[in-house]
Every structure is written in structure tokens, then in C-alpha cells.
Amino acid sequence: MPYSKLTRLAFAIVLFIMASSCTELANESLRGTIAANGMVSTAHPEATKIGVAILKQGGNAYDAAIAVQFALAVAYPNAGNIGGGGFLVYRKSTGEIGSLDFREKAPLSAHKDMYLDQDGEVIENLSTRGHLAVGVPGSVDGMTKIHQELGSMPFSELVEPAIQLALNGVVLTDREATKFNGQRKNFIETNSHTPYLVSNTPWAKGDTIFHKDLAATLMRIRDHGRAGFYEGTTAQLIVDEMMRGGGIITKEDLDLYQSVWREPMTSSYKSYRIIGMPPPSSGGVAVMQLLKGIESYDIGTWGFNSTRTIHIMTELERRVYADRATYLGDPDHYQIPADKLISDIYLKQRFSDIDPLVKTFSQSIKTGSVNFIESIETTHFSIVDVNGNAAAITTTLNGSYGSKVMVKTGGFFLNNEMDDFSVKSGVPNMFGLVGDKANAIAPQKRMLSSMSPTIIDKNDSLFMVVGTPGGSTIITSVFQTILNVIEHGMTMQEAVNAKKLHHQWLPDHILYELNALDSITYSELEQMGHVLKQRDGIGRMNAILVLDDGLLEGAADYTRGDDIALGY
């Protein structure tokens, strides 16, 4: 055989081997972390490691959740927090379910028009940046309530790992260094002191940040629990910070703050039970409306991100977000028809005008006009322990580093959650979401949220724990991730990695991630009347799936973030 022929044959064989191994890879499902005894999935490796260490010491899922919340406040300060708030949805191994609302509240002297000028126009940035944007924080009260009700280890032992992390320093990832550098100007402009996170030379991957002031605050929390934050030195530091920057949170506000146990929302999707967060989150209601709405369509057969699937999801989403804007807010201040909104009778009628072939114009559902500003950071973590207790927590400062206000010598950022209120009827917030009376500002009221910590069970057994950051895209990301597993047969990790889309009624366009659609689907959707816009990073899920053999699959979004799931 001539040499050239031999070479060509060898080349062909190599190609054949490569092609067959690629096919094999393509067919092989991508699993997340598999473990038998417990699983923790969070946005930061240090927080995940601390959560697993608590589980290994014999702590339950709620002990681990408390330790993770404090660890994220150190290692992931753009969203992890003690100066913000959040929601817990839990399901114990006994089947008992519950939820804790540790969402921030409007200060006592907040009022409906506090972000409007004399002409009634919204003053730019007032609800998003600086001291006036801050809601009364709920996270520390939340952690102490979770501990009292569900914890098993001493509280101090759950705060201690975060203190050690703060003292020993956190090594920056590339992403985090970029984030700090990107906010440098904002940190300086917003604060009357220079936060210790402002460095003269840009931060780089591998640099270590020591959080000395934050460690001291955490020690007060470790030693005095709730009082270590809402009373004494920390409370004084917060009030001093407010006075310096023109904020309105007082000692009385801090004194009055209480997180609230609420009955979780429950609904079904086929043979699965969905357990979600009730108002003041819109997450439970909206995810349940979407799942109920899609139940009667055969999307499993239509396929993942096919034209028909995307069209129906979009039509459901525009109606659900219109309901959100009109009906949802703080149930302690406004009558919220949450149960009616997820009832079969209501939803049948609500979705009855969906045309399977033609898009509905959002303006014909309800009027409004919005723009969409991206500046998003929240964080979700999912935990399951050896006994099958499950915790889903989504927690936030709202924007990245919240209001950008760092409490001087307290070492922690304060949220800008006030922007989640409807600061003026029909005027969009930073996620482009609009609202009305149900979500208007009032003293001591909680702002509406999209955070959707969700637990699913099947035949009375735990099936999935799931949630994500992403502002208004939280609801649709949770919706798609659940369907990816149940309808499209994906593993938990594949469902997390899968490219996502989003529609929120207004603005009337579908956001899609790069490679979410092929060109044929894209043009078919356009022919149906849809407007499509590309956006990066929809969803950054942290989820756990209980496999048929009882093992846990932990999935974390290592494609969109530095997230990691670990188990043992």
C-alpha cells in the first residue's frame, strides 16, 4: 500500500474513533455530584464546604443552611448577606412542610411617594443606590428563628465557621475580582468612608481578602444571637450609617423587625406536589400558575426549546406576570387572592385565550411601558441531609452589593430592596417589573419578591430542591428547570446547564441565551409574532434531585457562576 494511502487510512480510523467517542459522549448524560448521605449546593465553594462540614458533624439540613447563610455573607458579599433578607422553604423527612419569610421591611417613616419629585416623577437611582434604598434587614432574625424551630446544633457553632473564614481570608476567583473592580467607583461614591473592599490596585484572581470588621460583627451575632445585630453595637453602627448618609432606618425599626413563619403554597403538577413560597414572594404563585398552565400541553413530545414549547411557555408567562403586577404584594398589608390565582377554575379561564399559533400582544392584556436594566445578584442554596430533611433558601441584597452602602466598621453591605416595591404605579423597577397598589410602599410593609425557593415531592417522598437568583427571571428559570427534568428527561445537572428563555409580560419580548434556539426555531417564533432578544446568564440554579435509587444528585451552575455542589 503506498504511503499516502496508509496515512489516509490511519487518518480515517482516527476520525472514526473520534466520531464514535463523541457520539458516546453526546449520548451519555451529564450528572452532577452524586452522594448518599447529604448534599449542599451553593454559589461559593467555601460556603458549600462549610455546609457539608456541618452535615458531617451531625448537623441537620437547617443547621447547615444557617452556617451557609453566614458563610455566603463572607465569601460572596455581592449577594450573600446579613444586611438583606430572603425566604426558606423546608420539607422535613417526616413530610412536614413550612416556610419562613425573612424579607426586609419598609422603615417606619417610609411612604408611598418617597422616591418621587415634586412633579410626581421617579427620582433616578434613589430606590436603588444609597441609604434611602435600604429596607430593614431580615436575614439575622431569620437565621435565629430557623435555629430555634429547626436547628439541632448550638447556634454559636453555626456562625463560627463564617468567622474563621472572615479572619483567615477568602481567595478571590476571577469572577469575584472582576465584580469588585467593576464596583470600585460605586463603593467610593456611595459611602462617606472608604469600604475595605476598595483597593488601590485592581483585585486579581488569587488575591486574599480579609474581613476583619465583618468577623467582629459575626462574633456579636454568635454571642448574642438576634440581639447581636438588632441591638447594641451593630444596631448603633447601622443607625449611625443611616444618619451619615441620609437614610431613615431607626433603632425602633430594628427593634420591631420580625421574620414570619408562613404556610407554604402547595399545588400539583401531574403526580408531583410543588411546595413554594407564598406572598410576599410572587415565586410560589407564579411557578404554580405556569406549571398548571402547561400541564395539559404535551411538551415532552414537542421537545426541549422547540417552537411550540417556547410559544406556549411565553404565552403563559405574559399572563402570569400581568397577574403578578396587579394582584401580588405583602399579605400583611393588602388582600392577596393567592389561592384563587392558582385555582383550576381561575387558570382555565385565564389561559383560555391562548392561541397555539399566534402570539398575543402584551399590550392587549394590560397596558404599561417598561425598560429593563440589568444589575442582578441574589443567591440560592439547596441542602438535603442524611435523614432527607430539605432546605431551599433564596437570599438577597437585591442588586449586586445591594445599595452599595457598607456599614462603617460593621463590614457588611446593606440591601437596596426598596426598589422591589412599585415606587410609582406602572413604572418599572430595575428588573423591568411593574406593579400597582398591592405593592405600593407603606411603613412596615414587605416588598414583593420573585424569589422562588421550591421543593417538589412525589408519592410523599422528596424529589427535588431547587431555586436560583436572577430577579424577574427567577420564576421562569425555576419553571424551565423543573420541566427539563420531568418532561425532557434531563439529569439535574443538564437541566441546570440547559439554555434558558424568559418572558415577563412587559417588555413584550422573549429573552434567550446564546445557543438556546436554532435558526429554524428562531424564525418560526418570529413568524408567530414574537420579538426575540439575546441576554446572557438566565438562571444560575442550585438544585438537588433524589434519584430512583435514593442517591442524591447535586447540581450547581458552574457554567454561569463559580457554584459548586458537594456531598458525602
128 touches ligand DON (CB under 6 A)? no
Give the contact letters, 364-403, x = binds to ligand DON (CB under 6 A), - = no: ------------xxx-----------------x-x-----
* Number of residues assigned to the chain: 568
Shortest Å, Cβ 240 to ligand DON: 26
Q: Which of 470, 539, 561, 567 binds ligand DON (CB under 6 A)?
A: 470
* Pairing relationship of beta strands 552-556 and 461-466 according to DSSP bridges: unpaired
Show the binding pattern over residues 346-365: x = contacts ligand DON (CB under 6 A), - = does not: --------------------
Q: d(Cα 125, Cα 115) in Å, to the nearest integer?
A: 9
Query: CB–CB of 331/285 below 8 Å?
Result: no
Binding positions for ligand DON, 68-107, rule CB under 6 A? none
- Residue 217 C-beta: closest distance to ligand DON, Å: 23
For ligand DON, the closer of residues 174 and 374 by Cβ is 374
Considering the complex, what minimum distance in angstroms separates the CB of residue 281 from ligand DON?
Answer: 7
Q: Which is nearer to ligand DON, 289 or 378 (CB)?
A: 378
Q: Any contact of residue 278 with ligand DON (CB under 6 A)?
A: no
Q: At 36, which amino acid appears? A: A
Q: How far is Cα 551 from Cα 548, in angstroms, rounded to an integer?
A: 7
How far apart are CB 208 and ligand DON at their closest, in Å? 26
Nearer to ligand DON, 151 or 402 (CB): 402
End-to-end CA distance of the chain: 57
DSSP letters along 519-533, please? Answer: HHHHHHHHHTT--EE
Cβ closest to ligand DON, residue 279 vs residue 470: 470
Give the nearer residue to ligand DON in terms of CB position, either 394 or 521: 394
Q: For residues 567 and 40, is the Cβ–Cβ distance under 8 A?
A: yes
- Contact between 325 and ligand DON per CB under 6 A: no
Count of Cβ atoms closer than 10 Å to residue 486 Cβ? 21
DSSP code at position 65: H
User: With contacts defined by CB under 6 A, how many residues of the chain interact with ligand DON?
Assistant: 14
User: Residue 475 CB, nearest distance to ligand DON (Å)?
Assistant: 9
Q: Which of 378, 379, 395, 454 is catalytic?
A: 378
Please spell the DSSP secondary structure of 375-443, one letter per residue.
Answer: ---EEEEEEE-TT--EEEEEEE-SSTTTTS-B-TTT--B---GGGGS-SSTT---TTS----GGG---T
Q: Show contacts with ligand DON in window 418-447 (CB under 6 A).
A: 420
Q: Residue 306 burial (CB < 10 Å; 0-12/13-18/19+)? A: middle
- Applying CB under 6 A, which of residues 191, 314, 422, 449 lies at the interface with ligand DON? 449
Figure out which of the listed residues 195, 329, 432, 469 binds ligand DON, where binding follows CB under 6 A: 469
- Give the shortest CB-276-to-ligand DON separation in angstroms: 14
- CA separation, residue 156 to residues 119, 140, 151, 308, 336 (Å): 51, 13, 12, 53, 38
SS3 content of the chain, % helix, strand, coil (to 5): 40, 15, 45
Q: In the complex with ligand DON, which residue's Cβ is closer, 394 or 493?
A: 394
Give the CA angle between residues 396, 402, 408 to the nearest 5°.
115
CB 423 within 8 A of CB 115: yes
My answer on whether omega of the bond before 107 falls inside 30° of 0, hence cis, is no
Pick the stretch among 16-24, 294-302, 365-373, 465-473 that binds ligand DON (CB under 6 A). Answer: 465-473
Q: Which of 228, 471, 554, 561 binds ligand DON (CB under 6 A)?
A: 471
Does the protein bind ligand DON through residue 286 (CB under 6 A)?
no
Residue 396 designated active-site = no
Q: Give the active site residues.
A: 378
Residues near ligand DON, by CB under 6 A: 376-378, 396, 398, 417, 420, 449-451, 469-471, 474
